[in-house]
Structure 1
Amino acid sequence: MKRWVVGILAGISLLMGGLTAQAESNHFSAQAVLPDNQIDKKVTYFDLLVKPGETQKVTVKINNGDTKSHQYDVQTHLATTSDNGNVVYDSTGKHADDSLQFNLAPATSTVKTLTVPAKQSLLVNMNVKIPAKQFPGVALGGINVTQHVANDGKKKGVSIQNQFGYTIGLQLREVKTLTVKPDLKLLAAGPIQVNYRNYIAAKLQNPRAVIMRDFKVDGYVTKKGDAKKMLKTVKDKMTMAPNSHFNYALGDGTKQLEAGHYVMHIKASAENGKYQWNLSKPFTITAKKASDMNGASIYKPEKTTNWTLVAILAAIIIILIGLLIWVILKNRRRDEDEK
């Protein structure tokens, strides 16, 4: 079982130009060697101006400050959007969105596991093949450098190993001034289950090759033909990667699903309200779907007391007791009269 311990994420969001520094306990660091075609020379991630059909070389420097040699893995991943509304640059990301025109991950040459001797540095060169057809906006990804952990299978039981890593942002564009504007699509809506909890989710897509910043979503669900809001969730300060999608979940995961016809409503904005969208999409929860997901959920409906039924039953009992007493008293008076 591996537990990620992140030393520094250099340029992981392309929004924070944090300085690359050496992690305290893993004794290694990784940094971008910025080439001449770096657009913004004040940042520590790659922001490169490229041309169609060319091969772009990118170089990463790995510094091993330990007293013994170590192996390192270097991988390039596409930037995607997590279901928490954050840009991610590692293997936890989703598959490429259908709107993506240039995926720089497979276009970047692969690197095998590298060995860096003690107290030395190593330059790692990779080539990115730029497509002949011009791509709009930006292509975004991340170069992940991790200290290699060998799993020889000799240790029995559960072992916890720290795997230290750095992520260096890799952004490519073919024009310095971007004119591509973000857009938002509501691709689908319906129930999903995450960690055995039920939610209603809107599948949101940024189909443009541009980062969507300061992204805010006000989402709610109504029954079809009814204006009453059943579920409502508001999130802000989110970021979407170019040409990506994610599931925007509504609710807290504790509700049981009910079969029926519903409508998802999304009111969203980006860039501090500069771009705004109002979207909606109907969806249906079938009885089988509700039953299956409710059965698998860790939250079960609480058994509540039906006080209306209790009151009715109590009233009936009181009436019956009253009738019984009335019959007994009537019979007693009749017996006394006969005497």
Structure 2
Amino acid sequence: MLRSILFTIILFICSPVYHYISAQEEDLPLVIEPLYPDSQIPETIGYFDMTVEPGDREEIGVRITNENNREVKVNIQSANAYTYPTGGIVYDLEIDTENTSLLEDAIRLADYIEVEEAITIPALSSVDIPINITVPDIEGETILGGIRISTFSEEGEQTEAEEGTANFVINTETIHAIAVQLNLPKSLESEFSLGQAGFISNSAQVFIEMFNKAHKIQDNILGEYRVTNNKGEEIFEGEFGPFNMAPNTKIRYPFNWNNETLDDGDYVLDMEVTIDDETIKASENFTIHNEDVEEYAERTEPIVPEARTNKIPTWMWGGGIILFGIIMFTMGRRK
């Protein structure tokens, strides 16, 4: 009986546990074409770029062709325009993070776009989808938003997994965004500015706040930066841009910590930004705290895997010796 217990313990501890789960993604071949209105600027291809007046009503559309042998469900959503933290423009209904956001007086074009939200497209066919836009009644130069067209694959291959493990099906959403740019007759001056500097501990990046406060796209932003410590010693320096910012948006533009060491302390970020042939200079203080350094170290510290071995652990040998002694003692008493 004791011999059987010992064997069962060893077998349970030494037997491997296998997890084998896989999933297969199926392509959804769709062709999406903008249907331009009369107000479209002829030279622009691939997105809506219209010359409009405040209060106008515009009807645009998209033609979606399903080249698959089965019907496809398509979701359509109006979107606002945001500036990506490292520059450039992205389209989504709502983004509100420390790294990118709309300013309070921003025009949310998604509220002025009317579109059917869900469409089923039969196999091997095309559907024209009308989209209505009311131009906001504001004094501005550019209003920017977009249309997001998404397909959601519910197909997945689920395989058997060992008892006690989880089964998964991977669903994939594919999103195609088309910009909607409304060009108003008024021309505005740039309202670009810099804000506070700071440090992002989980990625070891210095950032500077950037604001585009005008109802216009601010393009061709570029410049130089330099980080020094409290002794005036240069830690690192570099260049950035050019990139664009969406109207009435704010970002925290990041710079990687380009130095071999990361120490807590007080630092200065010096900036020189060129906008429309105008140079903007700023010098902002920021502090790296000891907990910032510790957090980054914990995130980047390599995990050393334990070496695999086929040897029986020492404690198991000890357990076996004890059990063997018990067996021998019992057999001796029977004699």
TM-score, length basis structure 2: 0.68
- 1:112 is matched with which residue? 117
How far residue 50 of structure 1 moved from its aligned partner, in angstroms, is 2.9
Q: Which residue identity does 2:135 align to in structure 1?
A: I
- 1:276 is matched with which residue? 279
How far residue 252 of structure 1 moved from its aligned partner, in angstroms, is 4.0
- 2:234 is matched with which residue? 229
- 1:328 is matched with which residue? none
- 2:192 is matched with which residue? 184
How far residue 26 of structure 1 moved from its aligned partner, in angstroms, is 3.2
Q: Which residue identity does 1:281 align to in structure 2?
A: E
Partner SS for 1:126:
strand
How far residue 115 of structure 1 moved from its aligned partner, in angstroms, is 0.3
Q: Which residue identity does 1:137 align to in structure 2?
A: E
Q: Which residue identity does 2:154 align to in structure 1?
A: A
Q: Provide the rounded CA distance (Å) in 2 between the counterparts of 1:119 and 1:285.
A: 58
Classify 1:100/1:58 alpha carbon distance in 2 versus 1 (closer, same or farther; 3 Å).
Answer: farther
- 2:183 is matched with which residue? 173
Classify 1:229/1:265 alpha carbon distance in 2 versus 1 (closer, same or farther; 3 Å).
Answer: same
Q: Provide the rounded CA distance (Å) in 1 between the counterparts of 2:267 and 2:257.
A: 18
Q: Provide the rounded CA distance (Å) in 2 between the counterparts of 1:231 and 1:246.
A: 22
Deviations 1:109-133 (A, max 9, x none): 353221011222212223333333x
- Structure 1 position 141 matched with structure 2 position 145: yes
How far residue 92 of structure 1 moved from its aligned partner, in angstroms, is 8.9
Q: Provide the rounded CA distance (Å) in 1 between the counterparts of 2:286 and 2:254.
A: 15
How far residue 151 of structure 1 moved from its aligned partner, in angstroms, is 7.8
How far residue 294 of structure 1 moved from its aligned partner, in angstroms, is 3.9
Aligned ranges 1:49-88 → 2 under 5 Å? 49-88=51-90
Partner SS for 1:109:
strand
Conserved 8 A contact 1:197-1:298? no
- 2:324 is matched with which residue? none
- 2:212 is matched with which residue? 206
Q: Provide the rounded CA distance (Å) in 2 between the counterparts of 1:51 and 1:268.
A: 33
Q: Which residue identity does 1:47 align to in structure 2?
A: D
How far residue 254 of structure 1 moved from its aligned partner, in angstroms, is 7.2
Moved more, 147-156 or 64-73: 147-156
Q: Which residue identity does 2:139 align to in structure 1?
A: F
**RMSD, aligned CA:** 3.2
How far residue 237 of structure 1 moved from its aligned partner, in angstroms, is 3.1
Conserved 8 A contact 1:197-1:253? no
How far residue 268 of structure 1 moved from its aligned partner, in angstroms, is 1.5
Q: Which residue identity does 1:284 align to in structure 2?
A: T
In structure 1, the gaps of 5 or more residues are: 6-24, 301-339
- Structure 1 position 264 matched with structure 2 position 272: no
Deviations 1:217-255 (A, max 9, x none): 31222235x443223232223222222222222234776
Conserved 8 A contact 1:206-1:212? yes
TM-score, length basis structure 1: 0.68
- 1:34 is matched with which residue? 36
Q: Provide the rounded CA distance (Å) in 1 between the counterparts of 2:240 and 2:169.
A: 37
In structure 2, the gaps of 5 or more residues are: 1-24, 160-165, 303-335
Conserved 8 A contact 1:29-1:166? no
How far residue 170 of structure 1 moved from its aligned partner, in angstroms, is 0.4
How far residue 210 of structure 1 moved from its aligned partner, in angstroms, is 2.3
Conserved 8 A contact 2:78-2:93? no
Q: Which residue identity does 1:223 align to in structure 2?
A: N
How far residue 160 of structure 1 moved from its aligned partner, in angstroms, is 4.1
How far residue 35 of structure 1 moved from its aligned partner, in angstroms, is 1.0
Q: Provide the rounded CA distance (Å) in 1 between the counterparts of 2:195 and 2:53.
A: 33
Deviations 1:85-136 (A, max 9, x none): 222224695564215431102322353221011222212223333333x231
Q: Provide the rounded CA distance (Å) in 2 between the counterparts of 1:153 and 1:276.
A: 57
Q: Provide the rounded CA distance (Å) in 2 between the counterparts of 1:266 and 1:211.
A: 22
Partner SS for 2:37:
coil
How far residue 262 of structure 1 moved from its aligned partner, in angstroms, is 2.5
Q: Provide the rounded CA distance (Å) in 1 between the counterparts of 2:181 and 2:43.
A: 13
